[in-house]
Structure 1
Amino acid sequence: MREDYGKVRRVQQRLAALTGPRYRTAYRQTVAEVAGRAVPVRVFQPNRKRRDDVLLFFHGGGWVTGDIESYTPASATMAELTGCVVASVDYRLAPEYPFPAGLQDCYNVTRILLEEPHRAGIESAEKVVLVGDSAGANLAAAVSLMLRDEGLRTADRQVLLYPVTHWDHDPKTSPFASVRHHGEAYRLTNTEVQDYLDLYVPDPSQRRNPLVAPLMATDLSGQPASLVITAELDLLCDEGEEYGRALRAAGNEVRIHRVDGALHGFIALPRFSRSLREAYEVINDFLDEVPSQQEPA
């Protein structure tokens, strides 16, 4: 991946160009401007709006590949299957823009959506849900920690799909069995994850930073109600579930769901996929739940 990330991006762009025309009427392009930088945001409207939540989506791709174009089919599916407005963020990618550039983009767009949604081209965002898959879920978790640390309003909920939460994916040293059992023969490999981290965080001393590896955080209190969805045959399975348990131990409301037989990246599969259908059933239930921890009157 360290050598071929450019090729991967070009293939993704070609594939997106083939599938893109089907979704041209489903979204509109806007930008969120902060600190002199304009971050592209693609806003998807469901055909039938069933919820007032705005899902702020950070795509996967190891912080190195993926963009709002290649994730347009997944974002359109998310809008249709949840009945929510989905805002997909085109954050900066490594290695051209290493940590914390992409994270800062996601944080800035989140603040705008929470405080002044019209600046991101969205009329109203009373309930904001952070959603990310893989590296995007890592970014969502980090954004939630940053908002808490700054004493700002946090998102109402977060949905973390097979998140990266730890810094070590070497089967010889990782504390997680899934890294050893599922890191070679399946969708995502140990080597690929480590390559992504090398590109995203070139300085090894920063990889234990909680904003890179949220499981390293010593304080996980004050986080939004969280849904952690993992894939059984994914090397990230155990660390994602461990993060969910750590959030719960810190006093947060957490639901953890493992999709049996699923591979990493299933959120981008076609709508008839069993894994994708199961995940959205759980997501929709989560969005409809009334939080058990109410704010004091």
Structure 2
Amino acid sequence: MLAARESDDMADEPSDDVQAVLDYLAELDRPETHELTPERAREATRALRGDEPVAAVGAVTEQVVLGPARGIPIRIYEPASDGPHPVVVFFHGGGFVVGDPGTHDASCRLLTNAADVAVVSVDYRLAPEHPFPAAVEDAYAATEWVAAHGDDLGADLDTDRLAVAGDSAGGNLAAVVALAARERDGPDIAQQTLVYPVTDFREGEAYASYDENGEGYFLSAADMTYFRDHYLDSWVHPSDPYCSPLAASSHADLPPATVVTCGFDPLRDEGVAYADALDAAGTPVTHRHYDDLIHGVINMVAPPLDVAGGREVIDDVAADLDASLR
């Protein structure tokens, strides 16, 4: 396993710009996510995004593709460079409850440009209206559609140029799609990018990072309980590998992975555990650990939330994608 930064590096406090964001959010005196209804939580999440696009790309289009229960809206970002391009199917974070392609517009634009890839952002169904496994079904169906319609996207998928990526809940979905593709003889995925992913609903708060980072760092342990309780409507689900990818019986024969973890993140340790599981099974993995960053930083890349480390993460995973897809 390539450790781009040592996973046991520990900063005493978040970076200065992360702390500035935390101070700004504290001054807003916003309710905690877990104190809101899902509808209000979605509104609050949308309110944090900037008013202007963070970067221009070649083109942005939207369409709806066939899904298992309804049409799945997707947003397609194309680079300005001449194609055909590799394609990254992107799943947004938000605890399976909040978020949409709009909340992740900035990170998708920056990734499109940094990796010179087409990014397909998937608007999968959200809980609690659509609990597990609805998001998984949509994520996999969207990936199948992209794999079958590369020509329609102006993409080159004939030579291992398809990847899946996501942050937080979206990182979970990217990992699960990679597992499902292996089990179902599905699309050929060349790389999986998992940015501070949810990997283990079985253990949850048992990880030390929940105790260390459970309050005060944007995502709280109470928020994770809120998300879990909305996403999972049965006690049997946490042990399902399509819910908790760390529970898979094997992590061999999976696409090469980049796993991002942040020092001040409740999800840090389960991300580390997933990187270790992939490595132990012989799956190539690059573990990129950012000891002074927090959960959510790839969306904190434009005013009023502007963290240089968020752009650093995007640039780093873009470099890994470029190495895998070209």
- 2:142 equivalent to 1:102: no
SS in 1 for 2:266: coil
SS in 2 for 1:288: helix
Aligned match of 1:32: 65
Distance in 1, Cα, partners of 2:296 & 2:182: 28
Aligned match of 1:135: 169
SS in 1 for 2:76: strand
Contact 1:155–1:224, Cα closer than 8 Å, also in 2: yes
Contact 2:58–2:78, Cα closer than 8 Å, also in 1: no
SS in 2 for 1:37: coil
1:87 deviation in Å? 0.7
- 2:273 equivalent to 1:239: no
Judged with a 3 Å threshold, the aligned counterparts in structure 2 of structure 1 residues 254 and 86 are, in CA distance, closer, same or farther, namely same
Contact 2:301–2:311, Cα closer than 8 Å, also in 1: no
- 2:109 equivalent to 1:76: yes
Output aligned runs, 1:121-270, within 5 Å.
Answer: 121-126=152-157, 127-168=161-202, 171=205, 174=206, 176-270=207-301
Aligned match of 2:88: 55
CA displacement 1:237-289 (0-9 Å, x = unmatched)? 11101101101111111110101210100011126633123213321331233
Contact 1:95–1:199, Cα closer than 8 Å, also in 2: yes
Contact 2:83–2:155, Cα closer than 8 Å, also in 1: no
**Which consecutive unaligned segments of at least 5 residues does structure 1 have?**
292-297
SS in 2 for 1:98: coil
Number of corresponding residues? 286
Contact 1:19–1:73, Cα closer than 8 Å, also in 2: no
**Which consecutive unaligned segments of at least 5 residues does structure 2 have?**
1-33
Judged with a 3 Å threshold, the aligned counterparts in structure 2 of structure 1 residues 191 and 289 are, in CA distance, closer, same or farther, namely same
1:166 deviation in Å? 0.9
Judged with a 3 Å threshold, the aligned counterparts in structure 2 of structure 1 residues 130 and 190 are, in CA distance, closer, same or farther, namely same
TM-score where L is the length of structure 2: 0.80
The root-mean-square deviation of aligned C-alpha atoms, in Å, is 2.5
1:152 deviation in Å? 2.4
Amino acid at match of 1:221: A
Distance in 1, Cα, partners of 2:297 & 2:198: 15
Distance in 2, Cα, partners of 1:11 & 1:78: 24
Judged with a 3 Å threshold, the aligned counterparts in structure 2 of structure 1 residues 133 and 49 are, in CA distance, closer, same or farther, namely farther
Contact 1:232–1:261, Cα closer than 8 Å, also in 2: yes
1:16 deviation in Å? 5.2
Aligned match of 2:28: none
Contact 1:27–1:43, Cα closer than 8 Å, also in 2: yes
SS in 1 for 2:66: strand
1:207 deviation in Å? 1.4
SS in 2 for 1:207: helix
Judged with a 3 Å threshold, the aligned counterparts in structure 2 of structure 1 residues 144 and 216 are, in CA distance, closer, same or farther, namely same
Distance in 1, Cα, partners of 2:54 & 2:216: 34
Amino acid at match of 1:197: R
Distance in 1, Cα, partners of 2:125 & 2:114: 27
1:21 deviation in Å? 10
Judged with a 3 Å threshold, the aligned counterparts in structure 2 of structure 1 residues 17 and 243 are, in CA distance, closer, same or farther, namely closer
Distance in 2, Cα, partners of 1:191 & 1:265: 16
Judged with a 3 Å threshold, the aligned counterparts in structure 2 of structure 1 residues 14 and 264 are, in CA distance, closer, same or farther, namely closer
Distance in 2, Cα, partners of 1:49 & 1:79: 13
Amino acid at match of 1:41: I
Contact 1:114–1:155, Cα closer than 8 Å, also in 2: no
Determine which structure has greater relative contact order: mean sequence separation of CA pairs < 8 Å that are 6+ residues apart, divided by chain length.
2
Identity of aligned pairs, percent?
31
TM-score where L is the length of structure 1: 0.88
